Amino acid sequence: MNIGIWILGDQLSLEQAALQSCSDQQNVFVIFIESIQHIQTRPYHQQKLVLVWSAMRHFAQELQQLKYSVTYKIAEDFANPLDEWVRENEITELRVMTPNDRPFSEMIESLDLPCEISLIPNNGFLWNTAEFNNWASGRKRLLMEDFYREGRRRWQILMEEDKPVGGKWNLDKENRQPPKGKLNPPAEKWFKPDEITLDVIAKVKSLKIPTYGNLEPFNWGVSRHEALQVLDWFIQYRLPDFGTYQDAMLTGEETLWHALISPYLNLGLLQPLEVIQAVEAAYKQRQISLNSVEGFIRQVLGWREYMHGIYHFVDVDYPEKNWFNHTQPLPQFFWTGETKMNCLHQIINQVERTGYAHHIQRLMVLSNFALIAGIEPQAMKNWFHAAFIDAYDWVMETNVIGMGLFADGGVLASKPYAASANYINKMSNYCKSCVYDHKERISENACPFNFFYWDFLHRHCDQLKSQGRMSFILNNLDKMSSEELNSIRQQAEDWHIHH
Ligand code: FAD
Ligand code: SF4
């Protein structure tokens, strides 16, 4: 009996379940496939293509060095090379670790191969789907905070017996420091492309299909070895101040103290538990402030696991949700960065150059704008999925449809993340170099975030009243004169006509 293992591009770990399911390497054949058809579903960022393919090639090489029998195919689709390889090697059972992304599972289930296909339960997350569903079923609210605490208890992270270290579960209030002047964060841990990566860069350069973003300079790590260096670098230099400026945004200091590890976690090059435990160990060994350590662990043990769990828990129609019934098309400037709104201009340019923006840039500028301007959620999600280095279906649905755009009507967020220029001005230096006035709501140079924000609240006042946490801000809407409200609505309408 010959066993075949198909390793998908985001399953690049020796620990992954399909590899682990074989007790030895005898009669085991491993395949990787780079499919051109697969990447034509959207105009992916060129660096994302380089990252995934180069990481696949590096991992294939690692398996070869471990004496696995590895086939690496560069092909049009998945079905033909699989069929060929199954026949050539007389494979009787093809094992694949269950994909993170639902559409990929459906594609595998539809394959017609001359062997049995087994999906091996995914072990890439701390909580598997059954465990999460068990936690979530029957709860009135799927609060991230409850889930996070359960995770802390389960894996005994930052715990003193059954109590949180330091007495509090969540120190988020200490992690919202606005930036004052230059902050001079430590440099990023970047890498020079090696031979394998240079080959992939040449391949991507020669592609005749629509893509997005700059191909070079390509600075991302592409192997577990490099991903571990990024993790060490983060813990050494960035973790101590991670918390304090977690929500800040600064021109020219784009990544601040963020870890830059999502591309590696999402490919399987880093495992969530090892990341969490390394950070906790650093806390115990060095005098790192608890707000930074807890703040970071909450991201990985809390948010990341929660978003993945919800993705598999919700109904299949979740991706199409549109609670506010928003239908505006995606403005063209999301693809070009050509807008006078400096915050969007800076961040979109940054995404174009690197495929990366940090959480607050994604949530409070990019998706906030889409939310208040009434852009169709699915159009926005498609943009995020194409443009980001770390984007996958599982992380898109919950973050963009749910958290960013509140298109699920509050399954996971307790209120919409809608904000005016006031927030952006407080947390960034973007407004200082902007042609718009962050204080103005209705004049000619009024900031679009302001008139869209009030227009959004007004348009959806009734729906928003059902969200308890919105009542305070809706009271301010009631205090606005009808003249001002009309001008705001007019400005919002005019903006759409001209964009
Ligand atoms: P840090 O700020 O250093 O955080 C550490 C880690 O926590 C991240 O690497 C990530 O693995 C995890 N994390 C934190 N929040 C989340 C979250 N909400 N969902 C999943 N993981 C989380 N994350 C992606 O991995 N891919 C995406 O395509 C993506 N798109 C997003 C789109 C929107 C609209 C929003 C609001 C968030 C999105 N996120 C996404 C979550 C988060 O913004 C990124 O994980 C984070 O910015 C990655 O950068 P970092 O590694 O420097 O993170
Ligand atoms: Fe963005 Fe408005 Fe500030 Fe300009 S003024 S940077 S558009 S928030």
Q: Which atom of ligand 2 is nearest to the CA of 421?
A: 8
Q: Are the C-beta atoms of residues 163 and 236 closer than 8 Å to each other?
A: no
Asked whether 290 and 166 are in contact (CB, 8 A), the reply is yes
Sequence-ordered alpha helix ranges (H) in 357-481: 359-360, 368-372, 377-387, 393-396, 421-427, 448-459, 461-465, 471-478
Q: Which amino acid is at 348?
A: I
Whole-number Å distance, alpha carbon 436 to ligand 2 midpoint, is 6
Distance CA 360, CA 363 (A): 5
Does ligand 2 come within 6 angstroms of the Cβ of 436? yes
For the segment 8-38, what is each residue's pLDDT rounded down to a tens digit?
999 999 999 999 999 888 899 999 999 999 9
The secondary structure of 350-383 as a DSSP string is: HHHHHS---HHIIIIIIIHHHHHTTB-HHHHHHH
Question: How far, in Å, from the CA of 272 to the mean position of ligand 1?
Answer: 13
Smallest CA separation from ligand 1 atom 41, residue: 359
Tell me which amino acid residue 269 is: L
Whole-number Å distance between alpha carbons of 419 and 427: 12
Instruction: Write the residue with the smallest CA distance to atom 1 of ligand 2.
Output: 343
* Residue 141 scores a pLDDT above 90: no
Look at residue 180 in the predicted model and tell me its pLDDT.
Answer: 86
Q: How far is the CA of 198 from the centre of ligand 2 (A)?
A: 39
User: Is the distance from the beta carbon of residue 347 to the nearest atom of ligand 2 less than 6 Å?
Assistant: no
pLDDT band at residue 89 under the 50/70/90 scheme: very high
List, chain by chain if needed, residues with CB within 6 Å of any ligand 1 atom: 258-262, 265-266, 299-300, 303-304, 307, 358-359, 362-363, 367, 384, 388, 390-391, 395-396, 399-400, 403-404
pLDDT by residue (tens digit) across 182-194?
899 999 999 999 9
Rounded Cα distance, 243 and 291, in Å: 6
Domain 3-120 homologous superfamily, CATH: HUPs (3.40.50.620)
- Indicate the SS3 state at residue 34: strand
DSSP classification of residue 202:
H
Ligand 2 site, residue 431, Cβ cutoff 6 A: yes
Q: Judge if the beta carbon of residue 313 lies within 6 A of ligand 2.
A: no
Pair of tokens at residue 307: 């978003």
Report the residue among 438, 452, 453, 491 best suited for mutation to probe ligand 2: largest number of ligand atoms under 8 A from its CB.
Answer: 438
Domain borders along the chain are 3-120, 129-313, 319-498
Q: How confident is the model at residue 142 (pLDDT cuts 50, 70, 90)?
A: very high
Q: Of 293, 399, 405, which is best to mutate to test ligand 1, by the most ligand atoms within 8 angstroms of its C-beta? A: 399
The number of the ligand 2 atom at minimal distance from the alpha carbon of 447 is 2
Domains 129-313 and 319-498 are alike in CATH topology: no
- Gap from CA of 230 to ligand 2 centroid (Å): 33
Q: Using CA atoms, how far apart are residues 386 and 418, in angstroms rounded to an integer?
A: 23
pLDDT digits (tens, 9 = 90+) for 353-366: 999 999 999 999 99
Task: For residue 242, report the distance from its CA to the centre of ligand 2, in Å.
Answer: 25
Residue 329 pLDDT = 97
Pocket test for ligand 1, best of 244, 359, 383, 396 (most atoms within 8 A of CB): 359
Amino acid at 267: L
CATH 3.10.105.10 fits 129-313, yes or no: no
Q: What is the identity of the amino acid at 121?
A: P
- pLDDT tens digits, 464-496: 988 777 888 888 888 899 999 999 999 999 999
Token pair in block for residue 493: 């309408």
- Whether the model clears a pTM of 0.95, i.e. scores above it, the answer is yes
- Answer for the pair 98, 10: CB distance below 8 angstroms, yes or no: no
- CA 307 to chain centroid, in Å, comes to 10
Choose which residue among 262, 267, 298, 356 to substitute to test ligand 1 binding: the one with the highest number of ligand atoms within 8 A of its C-beta: 262
Both tokens of 53, joined, read 């393919």
Q: Which atom of ligand 1 is nearest to the CA of 265?
A: 11
Amino acid at 284: K
Alpha carbon distance 247, 265 (integer Å): 21
pLDDT digits (tens, 9 = 90+) for 427-461: 999 999 999 999 999 988 999 999 999 999 999 99
Q: Whose CA is nearest to atom 52 of ligand 1?
A: 260
- 361 C-alpha to ligand 2 centroid (Å): 13
Please give the distance, rounded to the nearest whole angstrom, from the Cα atom of residue 341 to the centre of ligand 2.
5
CB 28 within 8 A of CB 68: yes
Domain 319-498 homologous superfamily, CATH: DNA Cyclobutane Dipyrimidine Photolyase, subunit A, domain 3 (1.10.579.10)
Decide if 144 contacts 291 (C-beta within 8 A): no
pLDDT in tens, 306-353: 999 999 999 999 999 999 999 999 999 999 999 999 999 999 999 999
